[in-house]
Amino acid sequence: MAATRLAQRPQLSEEVADHVRTRIMSGEVRPGDFIRLDETAAALGVSVTPVREALLTLRGEGLVDLVPRRGYLVSPMSRQDVEDIFWLQARLSKRIVDRAITRFDEAALENHARLVEDFETAAVTGDPDRVVSAQYAIHRSINRASRSDKLSRFLNNAARYMPYRLYAEDPDWRSTALEDNRRMLEALRTGDVETAHAVVDREFTNGADLLIAHLQRAGVWDEDRDEDRGATLVAQA
């Protein structure tokens, strides 16, 4: 893992948690792998304290387990777990869209259209950071229009599990996302709830399928490897 330096900010442990969470959800570290405090701190250029706090957060999310006298290791994750994460996001998103679609005024629609254009520009350049930022802005626009603060927070918490750069680096995903963003914009303009729901369903179904396929290729569900690792941990306990 290449060394990086995160600025010393109050939310530093949250940034460390985001970093480790992304490594887990992208298959860079796999179930049964240990997350070393010292190695992670050195790679990010931070002290051990925010790393420990981050791992406590991830333990609460069910992404890592604490093994006495050994440290933290990545928890098991099934295909169903991934499907459930995306199913939840789709359900919450539909509820938010139902409220937002009646509350977009002309100014908000013009702003949303500019955000779609920003995404198109980012998608053409292929810059993953710009793509992630542009897509986030589009979703935030809809969330704000819904005036459903608590529901939007629940959705943001579920969205933390998505390794956005994995998608942003995929040209096919960018092309599909642009098409979906345009369809959603038109649905918001015309009040077409059915199309808006169809866009949400496709976005999260495709997202789940892409991530499951990626994790499969990464060997996250390598049954022989999992059995060997489980036997080793039992013997060392």
Q: What is the mean pLDDT of the chain?
A: 89
3-state helix, strand, coil in the chain (%, to 5): 70, 5, 25
In a shared domain, residues 72 and 92: no
Q: Which two tokens stand for residue 40?
A: 């992670």
CATH of residue 132: 1.20.120.530
In a domain, 172, yes or no: yes
User: Any residues with CB less than 8 A from the CB of 7 and at least 6 apart, and which?
Assistant: none
Same domain as 73, residue 123: no
Cα 175 to its chain centre, rounded Å, is 19
CA dist 11 and 127 (Å) reads 26
Per-residue model confidence (pLDDT) at position 69: 86
Predicted local distance difference test score (pLDDT) of residue 227:
47
Tell whether 160 and 71 lie within a shared domain.
Answer: no
Note the pLDDT of residue 223: 56
Interatomic CA distance for residues 133 and 98, integer angstroms: 24
Identify which of 51, 28, 76, 62 has the alpha carbon closest to the alpha carbon of residue 233: 76
Residue 4 within a domain: no
Residues 73 and 109 occupy one common structural domain: no
Are 126 and 161 in the same domain? yes
| 56 located within any domain | yes
The whole-angstrom separation of Cα 32 and Cα 141 is: 39
Quick one: 124 and 173 in the same domain?
yes
Provide the greatest CA pair distance for the chain.
Answer: 65
Report pTM.
Answer: 0.82
Tens digit of each residue's pLDDT (9 = 90 or more) over 167-226: 999 999 999 999 999 999 999 999 999 999 999 999 999 999 999 999 999 888 865 444
Sequence length of the chain is 237
If asked whether residues 157 and 41 sit together in one domain, one would say no
pLDDT of residue 135: 96
> In this predicted structure, what is the pLDDT of residue 36?
93
- Domain hosting residue 52, numbered range: 12-77+222-236
CA separation for the pair 60, 45 (Å, rounded):
24
Q: How confident is the model at residue 2 (pLDDT cuts 50, 70, 90)?
A: very low
Average pLDDT of the segment spanning 146-161: 93
Give the model confidence (pLDDT) of 128-149 as tens digits.
Answer: 999 999 999 999 999 999 999 9
Residue 233 has pLDDT above 60, yes or no: no
Which has the closest alpha carbon to 166: 104, 214, 118? 214
Return the pLDDT at 119: 97
Can you give the pLDDT at residue 224?
Answer: 45
The pLDDT value given to residue 221: 84
In a domain, 5, yes or no: no
Residue 159 lies in a domain: yes
Report the range of poorest mean pLDDT among 41-45, 47-51, 192-196, 220-224.
Answer: 220-224
Question: What is the rounded CA–CA span in Å between residue 142 and residue 67?
Answer: 42
pLDDT score of 125 more than 60:
yes
Contacts of 18 (CB under 8 A, 6+ apart): 160
Sheet holding 64-67, edge to edge: 34-35, 71-74, 64-67
Number of domains in the chain: 2
Report the pLDDT value the prediction gives residue 200, as an integer from 0 to 100. 98
Predicted local confidence at residue 55, as pLDDT: 96
In a domain, 207, yes or no: yes
* Mean pLDDT along residues 60-82: 93
pLDDT, tens only, 106-115: 999 999 999 9
Query: CA 46, CA 204: separation in Å to the nearest integer?
Result: 34
pLDDT at 10 over 80: no
Residue 5 above 60 pLDDT?
no
Task: State which H helix or E strand residue 20 sits in.
Answer: helix 12-25
pLDDT at residue number 6: 45
- Percent pLDDT > 90 in the chain is 81
How far apart CA 185 and CA 93 sit, in angstroms, is 15
Determine the Cα–Cα distance for residues 164 and 177; give it in Å rounded to an integer: 12
